[in-house]
Amino acid sequence: MPRRKRRYWLMKSEPEVYSIEDLERDGQEPWDGVRNYQARNSMRDEMAVGDLVLFYHSNAKPPGVAGVARVCTAAYPDPTAFDPGSDYYDPKSDPEAPRWWMVDVEFVERFDALVSLDALKAEGDGADAPLAGMLVIRRGQRLSVQAVEAAHFAHVLKIARARTRVRVR
């Protein structure tokens, strides 16, 4: 059986809650608390170990991609849904038929400079732009776990690398 092609993702986190620096420190983190069905479906049905993730800082000044993570577990039921003491408790999620699923992600890299939403938008403006059609730059896009095209993922890395080179020289 041919190996499944690696997929690419963008996952949002408010840095005040959990940042790329936190992930760098911790090494690995359970991505619990997602309570949106589309995001749940992505994690439960489409993610696989080894997939790469753009780690996006939302509700930040400025917002943008702060680094890269990697999916490091298969999907499993989100235990916070069963915990009455958790902010993410969902009394309608039954351990026998879990409603909410999650994966763990591990640290890969922290960009030297944030690739800001403005920078993404600047490269996504126009039909032939490198990031044209990227979901995160669309106005009103709230989905916290988004699929990213391989070419878009590569281009975001290219932006980050270009900045590093300038900074380091």
> Interface residues with DNA (CB under 7 A)?
12, 14, 35-38, 58-60, 63, 117-118, 121, 138-144
Q: How far is the CB of 169 from DNA (least distance, A)?
A: 29
Nearer to DNA, 6 or 121 (CB): 121
Residue 106 CA to residue 24 CA, distance in Å, equals 8
DSSP SS3 for 47: coil
Amino acid found at 63: P
Q: How far is the CB of 122 from DNA (least distance, A)?
A: 11
Nearer to DNA, 5 or 139 (CB): 139
Nearer to DNA, 28 or 36 (CB): 36
Report yes or no: 63 and 56 within 8 Å, Cβ to Cβ: yes
DSSP secondary structure code for residue 99 in this structure: S
DSSP H stretches of helix in 13-126: 20-26, 37-41, 117-122
Q: How far is the CB of 152 from DNA (least distance, A)?
A: 16
